[in-house]
């Protein structure tokens, strides 16, 4: 059973891409098994992403989707659960749902997985010698990964009568452990069952359009390359803000907190792509090799470089501790700002500021690269407040803009900050921007692991955060209160300022068609 999707070490030509597309469309016999099919993730993300790929013609003609879960459902019951989340006309929805069936079964023991294997064999037996693909999507809590993967390995991993280019792959959702030790234990258990090339650890941030653009923006623009260095850059800020609280999901969130839920995975992946060196090629392993190198250069986050917060009531949002699903007296942080350091030649001395929080004043994920002021400027000290910044907004309304200093129109020689602005809605208004899950599921079908997390990446990311997490778990840091709807604890702004970020209070970026006004993270 081959799995050669990650063997290319050169960018693919148009002819090779077309050959691959035609192979998948016309030859591959694909079965996607969604484990945890009755849960929220499956109905809100996994099945809708598969439907969009189906509707747009990216999936094979010979396609079957199987839902698997403990719930006693019929095919029609599952269709009813997911149909309202599919975006398209009823005819296409019905065509898609006709390919979706359901198999009930437990996540431990062999009986359920044996029943699943019978369904798989029955589907595949008429295609002897054809290339077969089995994609298992684990839309499940990580606590059941080992037993589910063991059941799949024992009962569903031997594809009979498989032709050349057949494969089996597993897509695994985060969180991948609670710290370095538990992550390694989980990786060991899965690694004993399936080789790394069959494991696709999904971080949906790697599927976002601006993240996909990172390698092009960084390594295809000569004007940017020489300044991407500690000699020019003062600090880098990566910011994640949500305007809502836990909203009844406090039980899940309280187990992990904002650092495990957002920083250690999503924001660290952003940091790696921003800070890495140019890979030798665009192959998955070459890219991930460079990400690992920069993550290994990260020093563990120190407690003194961290501000934690927990939201209280504000506006229509009740306090975190008033959520009935949150344990009484919980000290779990819903907000964190961390200043990180990368110890290598390119980034030594440059603070990397991560900020993430719930129940804040706006919804936003953005990167802010702030440059140093000109040396011995002829324009005086005022220029020190007018920093060049490259800003990449991942959501909402994707945009890339560069803050530059220009002369204010008029008779006087007065400097102001303006911008070079690429707002995606304005520039690419007629272009469909895929959802992250659509892109990543398609990559998994194509066998492209570039945008999935490799085990050594995971190990390096956990190593940077585990000492801080253990200190928080021991009660060595208390979260500061902040009202819902605010920017977070005031101490966060003080920490960011100490790290070198200079705020220009007189400048507002008004994103085209975004309804957004404001530039301050």
Share of the chain above pLDDT 70, in %: 92
Query: Which class is 14-173 in CATH?
Result: alpha beta
Mean pLDDT of 148-167: 88
Q: How many CB atoms lie within 10 A of CB 220?
A: 10
Write down the residue that tokens 């359920």 correspond to: 112
Higher-scoring residue by pLDDT: 322, 403:
322
Residue-wise over 432-454: b if at least 16 C-beta within 10 A, else e? eebbbbbbbbbbbbbbbbbbbbb
Band of pLDDT at residue 2, cut at 50, 70 and 90? low
pLDDT for 251: 82
User: How many H helices and E strands in the chain?
Assistant: 16, 16
Q: Above 50 in pLDDT, residue 516?
A: no
pLDDT for 245: 92
- For residue 119, CA distances in Å to 62, 66, 70 come to 16, 9, 16
Residue 68 phi/psi, 5-degree rounding, is -135, 130
Specify which residues 353 forms β-bridges with. Answer: 237, 339
pLDDT for 413: 74
pLDDT tens column, 416-436: 777 888 888 888 888 888 899
Q: Above 80 in pLDDT, residue 521?
A: no
pLDDT tens column, 81-111: 999 999 999 999 999 999 999 999 999 989 9
Mean pLDDT of 175-183: 91
pLDDT for 59: 94
Q: Above 80 in pLDDT, residue 296?
A: yes
Mean pLDDT of 200-224: 91
Where residue 425 falls (left for φ over 0; alpha for ψ -120 to 50; beta otherwise) is alpha
207-498: CATH superfamily: Dihydrodipicolinate Reductase; domain 2 (3.30.360.10)
Band of pLDDT at residue 515, cut at 50, 70 and 90? very low
Mean pLDDT of 217-243: 94
pLDDT tens column, 451-507: 999 999 999 999 999 999 999 999 999 999 999 999 999 999 999 999 999 887 677
Mean pLDDT of 309-333: 93
pLDDT for 379: 64
266 part of the active site: yes
What does the mean pLDDT of the chain come to?
89
User: CA-CA distance, 185 to 148, in Å (whole number)?
Assistant: 16
* Domain boundary assignment for the chain: 14-173, 207-498
pTM for the model: 0.89
Residue 360: helix, strand or coil by DSSP? strand
pLDDT for 519: 57
The answer to whether 169 and 131 are in contact (CB under 8 A) is no
Q: Which of 79, 266, 379, 451 is catalytic?
A: 266
Through-space distance between the first and last CA atoms of the chain, rounded to whole angstroms: 50
Q: Of the segments 5-9, 246-250, 375-379, which one has the largest average pLDDT value?
A: 246-250
Least confident of 174-178, 356-360, 408-412: 408-412
pLDDT for 1: 53
- For residue 151, CA distances in Å to 12, 113, 284 come to 36, 6, 29
């Amino acid at each position: 059973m081959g799995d050669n999707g990650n063997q290319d070490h050169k960018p693919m030509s148009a002819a090779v891409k077309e050959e691959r597309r035609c192979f998948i469309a016309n030859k591959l016999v694909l079965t996607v098994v969604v484990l945890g099919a009755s849960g929220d993730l499956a109905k809100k993300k996994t099945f809708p992403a598969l439907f969009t790929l189906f509707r747009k013609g990216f999936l094979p003609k010979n396609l079957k989707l199987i839902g698997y879960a403990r719930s006693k459902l019929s095919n029609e019951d599952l269709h009813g659960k997911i149909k309202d989340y599919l975006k398209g006309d009823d005819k296409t929805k019905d065509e898609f749902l006709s390919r979706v069936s359901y198999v009930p079964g437990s996540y431990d023991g062999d009986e359920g997985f044996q029943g699943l294997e019978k369904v798989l064999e029955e589907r595949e037996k008429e295609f002897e010698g054809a290339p077969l693909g089995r994609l298992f999507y684990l839309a499940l809590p990580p606590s059941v990964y080992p037993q589910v993967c063991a059941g799949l390995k024992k009962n569903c991993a031997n594809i009979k009568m498989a032709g050349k280019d057949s494969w089996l792959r597993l897509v695994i959702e985060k969180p991948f452990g609670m710290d370095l030790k538990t992550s390694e234990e989980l990786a060991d258990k899965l690694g004993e069952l399936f080789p790394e090339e069959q494991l696709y650890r999904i971080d949906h941030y790697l599927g976002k359009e601006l993240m996909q653009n990172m390698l092009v923006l960084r390594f295809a623009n000569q004007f940017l390359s020489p300044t991407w260095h500690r000699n020019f850059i003062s600090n880098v800020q990566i910011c994640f803000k949500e305007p809502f609280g836990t909203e009844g999901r406090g039980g899940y969130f309280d187990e992990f907190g904002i650092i495990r839920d957002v920083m250690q995975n999503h924001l660290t992946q952003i940091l790696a792509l921003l800070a890495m060196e140019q890979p030798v090629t665009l192959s998955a392993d070459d890219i991930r090799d460079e990400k690992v190198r920069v993550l290994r250069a990260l020093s563990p986050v120190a407690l003194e470089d961290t501000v934690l917060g927990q939201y209280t009531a504000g506006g229509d949002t009740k306090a975190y501790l008033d959520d009935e699903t949150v344990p009484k007296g919980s000290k779990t942080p819903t907000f964190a700002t961390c200043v990180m350091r990368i110890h290598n030649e390119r980034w030594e001395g440059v603070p990397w500021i991560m900020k993430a929080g719930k129940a804040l004043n706006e919804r936003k994920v953005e990167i802010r690269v702030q440059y140093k002021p000109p040396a011995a400027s002829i324009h005086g000290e005022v220029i020190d407040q007018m920093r060049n910044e490259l800003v990449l907004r991942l959501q909402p309304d994707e945009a890339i803009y560069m803050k530059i200093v220009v002369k204010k129109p008029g008779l006087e020689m007065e400097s102001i900050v303006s911008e070079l602005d690429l707002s995606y809605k304005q520039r690419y208004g007629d272009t469909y921007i895929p959802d992250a899950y659509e892109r990543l599921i398609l990559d998994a079908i194509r066998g492209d692991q570039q945008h999935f997390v490799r085990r050594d990446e995971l190990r390096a990311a956990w190593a940077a955060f585990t000492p801080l997490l253990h200190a928080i778990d021991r009660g060595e840091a208390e979260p500061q209160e902040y009202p819902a709807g605010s920017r977070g604890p005031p101490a966060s702004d003080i920490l960011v300022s100490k790290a070198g970020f200079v705020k220009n209070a007189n400048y507002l970026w008004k994103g085209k068609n975004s309804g957004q006004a404001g530039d301050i993270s």
